[in-house]
A and B are shown apart, each in its own frame.
Chain A
Amino acid sequence: MSKYIIRRLLNLILILLGVSIIVFMLVYLAPGDPIRIMLGEDASPAEVERLREVYGLDRPVHIQYGMWLGNVLRGDLGTSIRQGRPVTTLIMNRLGATFELGFASLIIAVVISIPLGVLAALKHSSWLDFTTMVVALIGISMPGFWLALMLLTHVALHVEFFPLFGRGASFVGGFFQLLTEGSFTELYDAFRYVLLPAFSLGTASAALLTRLTRSSMLDVLRLDYIRTARSKGLGERVVVFKHALRNALLPVVTVLGLQLGVLLGGAVITETVFAWPGIGRLIVNSISQRDFPIIQAGTLMLATGFTVINLLVDLSYAWLNPRIRYD
């Protein structure tokens, strides 16, 4: 197992290196001169030249990449062209919001999908199964940002409980307040704000996971060991929850990590719809201003988060499923 972990870690480093090369090269090859964007079209050639030297943009590409990567590894993601502030600060201030939204969506997806998938499998070929599958298919086919707009139009505008835009208190702050002051106000506030964005973002994942849970459960329920469990007289509840569900959820767990990545990506658009102050909205706002250091760093951070989460999921899979041997 430890050999496997080391191999995966080395692979992770290679992949992140590849990610950094893509992120750097795309911006390097982008049309338009960042110094011109920074100084405006009226800047004198001498001034442009001077700044080009200051930022090292006059040096060969591999040197520029090396300098950039070195800075990134030291936690310096560059300076925003438009705002003049360190990108690291801008990103770090918003990282929590994006991950909170991503996790909240994943929790909503899991809470909806697993009971529904199990129920659909247990009532195989019934109207409940059919309805669940039709709803899941529509859920998969629906763009999250459209659902977001629909929820704003038909729910948030009419129900006072739901705020229209923005983010309330953070969940971390809410839990801290609960522990220190015993008050629920911040947690309640966080919950009110996150519910609609997380629901619209998590619906597609919920639909996909419902289908997966159902088909995996159906596969497991057909196996001999379930027949054995039933024939030795175990109650249906024990057979389903203790014997079948544990094995049926293994493929679901593998997909969870991938789904979190999909959610982090999808958050870019959902954050824009709900004015959620996360990295996604920061990236989108920076696109129209061609503020490349922010777009570059935001993409790098989200891709890194996605890769690391996937590795953790793969490793946890080994722990969950002792039948798997990696070396």
Chain B
Amino acid sequence: MDKKKKFLNSKQAVVGLILIGIMVLIAIFAYQIAPHDPYEQNLILRYQSPGGIGGEYILGTDNLGRCLLSRLIVGTRISLLVGFVAVGGSLITGLILGALAGYIGGWIDETIMRLMDVILAFPAILLAIFIVAVLGPGVVNAMFAIAIVRIPSMARVTRSQVLGLKEEEFVEAAQAIGASNFKILFVHILMNGFAPMMVIATLGMGTAIVTEAGLSFLGLGAQPPVISWGRMLASARDALRSAPHVTTYSGMAIVLAVLGFNLLGDGLRDVFDPKLGKNR
């Protein structure tokens, strides 16, 4: 069965793709879809329950009387943006480092992979918190920190792909016709070994979104007035008893986004790695 058919036959991959597609559309058209102005405060309407005031606020309001649904819709933007930028950054860096390590070998391989080991010696979220704590809170620093902690997994996968592929006949053929090392590595080898990296990147999106939410929850990620799901969770902490809907729905938004990427990642893995996929 060809890969595309296999992908379309994988229910989880398709469900994941649809979920992500919906999220991306929500993020792009956030301000058009949002029923209210997500920034508009109305202190008289603080912590309204879902469906309150004649159903005007479908998911209720937050601590400053702002429409929760509108804020969740706009919050999609930051979560996806941080995810895409951080994972994209780590993918490119990890790809270059892993490719160099695998292709050149020797002391370059040793140095790069030992550095990756050192980064892996930190629990990922702890290193991300530490980096942002030092650099100062903010979305950009959060993206940077998340990208750094995700580099080693990308580099390792790329390296093992390169090690496996560089002995293949098509590489020898490319060498024989005089292709440059750069072309062999980045065009021939990586094009053939790209699938596992995409799987890791897709699954990494879920982790990146959770990490961003965690950083924002601690006040280290997005700063007001930027709307972020993690920040919304943090601001609802004081009202667990009176307004449980704020924490419940903000968290559900995170779970749905992460679930979408995990489903797609699992599905892609089943398609590209039949050994791992056979049991699922």
Residues in A lying within 8 Å of B, measured CB to CB:
11, 14-16, 18-19, 22-23, 26-27, 29-31, 133, 137-138, 140-143, 145-147, 149-150, 152-154, 157, 214-215, 218-219, 261-262, 264-266, 268-269, 272-273, 283-284, 287-288, 292, 295, 299, 302-303, 306-307
Q: Do the beta carbons of A265 and B125 come within 8 Å of each other?
A: yes
Q: Do the beta carbons of B121 and A307 come within 8 Å of each other?
A: yes
Q: Do the beta carbons of A145 and B217 come within 8 Å of each other?
A: yes
What is the distance, in angstroms, from A224's C-beta to the closest C-beta of chain B? 17
Q: Output the residue of A302, A303, A306 with the most chain B CB within 10 A.
A: A303
Alpha-carbon gap, A302 to B237, bound state (A) = 27
Q: Residues of B contacting A288 with CB < 8 Å?
A: 219
Measured CB to CB, the nearest residue on chain B to A262 is B123
If the complex has contacts A149-B247, A153-B240, are A265 and B121 also in contact, measured as CB distance less than 8 A? Answer: no
Known: A19-B121, A145-B217. 5 other contacts (CB 8 A): A22-B118, A22-B119, A23-B130, A265-B127, A307-B121
Q: Residues of B contacting A145 with CB < 8 Å?
A: 214, 217, 233
**How many residues of B sit at the interface, in one of the four size bands?**
35 or more
| B contact face: mostly helix, strand, loop, or mixed | helix
Q: Do the beta carbons of A14 and B114 come within 8 Å of each other?
A: yes
Partner of B126, one of A26, A27, A141, A268: A268
Alpha-carbon gap, A153 to B240, bound state (A) = 6
What is the distance, in angstroms, from A126's C-beta to the closest C-beta of chain B? 14
Q: Residues of B contacting A157 with CB < 8 Å?
A: 240-241
- Would you mind naming 11 contact pairs between A and B with Cβ atoms under 8 Å apart? A15-B121, A18-B121, A30-B135, A142-B251, A142-B258, A145-B214, A146-B247, A153-B244, A153-B247, A273-B237, A302-B122
B134 at the interface (CB under 8 A from A): yes
Q: Residues of B contacting A146 with CB < 8 Å?
A: 213, 233, 247, 250-251, 254-255
Within 8 A of A (CB), among B195-225: 206, 210, 213-214, 217-220
B192 at the interface (CB under 8 A from A): no
Q: Output the residue of B114, B123, B135, B279 with the most chain A CB within 10 A.
A: B123
Alpha-carbon gap, A149 to B229, bound state (A) = 14
Q: Do the beta carbons of B123 and A264 come within 8 Å of each other?
A: yes
Q: Residues of B contacting A307 with CB < 8 Å?
A: 121
**CB contacts between A and B, total, < 8 Å:** 140
Residues in B lying within 8 Å of A, measured CB to CB:
114-115, 117-119, 121-127, 129-131, 133-136, 206, 210, 213-214, 217-220, 233, 236-237, 240-241, 244, 247-248, 250-251, 254-255, 258-259, 262-263, 266, 276, 279-280
Q: Do the beta carbons of B263 and A137 come within 8 Å of each other?
A: yes
Partner of A268, one of B125, B247, B258, B279: B125
Q: Do the beta carbons of B114 and A287 come within 8 Å of each other?
A: no
Q: Do the beta carbons of B123 and A302 come within 8 Å of each other?
A: yes
Measured CB to CB, the nearest residue on chain B to A156 is B240
Q: Residues of A contacting B124 with CB < 8 Å?
A: 262, 265
Q: Residues of B contacting A141 with CB < 8 Å?
A: 206, 255, 258-259, 262
Q: Residues of A contacting B279 with CB < 8 Å?
A: 214-215, 218-219
Partner of B131, one of A26, A31, A147: A26
Alpha-carbon gap, A154 to B240, bound state (A) = 9
Q: Do the beta carbons of A266 and B125 come within 8 Å of each other?
A: yes
Alpha-carbon gap, A293 to B78, bound state (A) = 32
Q: Do the beta carbons of A140 and B114 come within 8 Å of each other?
A: no
Alpha-carbon gap, A53 to B160, bound state (A) = 49
Measured CB to CB, the nearest residue on chain B to A304 is B121
Q: Do the beta carbons of A149 and B129 come within 8 Å of each other?
A: no
Q: Do the beta carbons of A31 and B126 come within 8 Å of each other?
A: no
Q: Do the beta carbons of A269 and B118 come within 8 Å of each other?
A: no
If the complex has contacts A18-B118, A141-B259, A287-B220, are A299 and B136 also in contact, measured as CB distance less than 8 A? Answer: no
Alpha-carbon gap, A69 to B250, bound state (A) = 43
Q: Output the residue of B126, B136, B236 with the most chain A CB within 10 A.
A: B126
Q: Residues of A contacting B117 with CB < 8 Å?
A: 11, 15, 18
If the complex has contacts A140-B262, A153-B244, A215-B280, are A27 and B134 also in contact, measured as CB distance less than 8 A? Answer: yes
What is the distance, in angstroms, from A279's C-beta to the closest C-beta of chain B? 10
Q: Residues of A contacting B217 with CB < 8 Å?
A: 145, 269
Q: Residues of A contacting B210 with CB < 8 Å?
A: 143
Q: Residues of B contacting A154 with CB < 8 Å?
A: 244
Alpha-carbon gap, A303 to B123, bound state (A) = 7
Alpha-carbon gap, A157 to B240, bound state (A) = 9
Alpha-carbon gap, A108 to B220, bound state (A) = 30
What is the distance, in angstroms, from A223's C-beta to the closest C-beta of chain B? 13
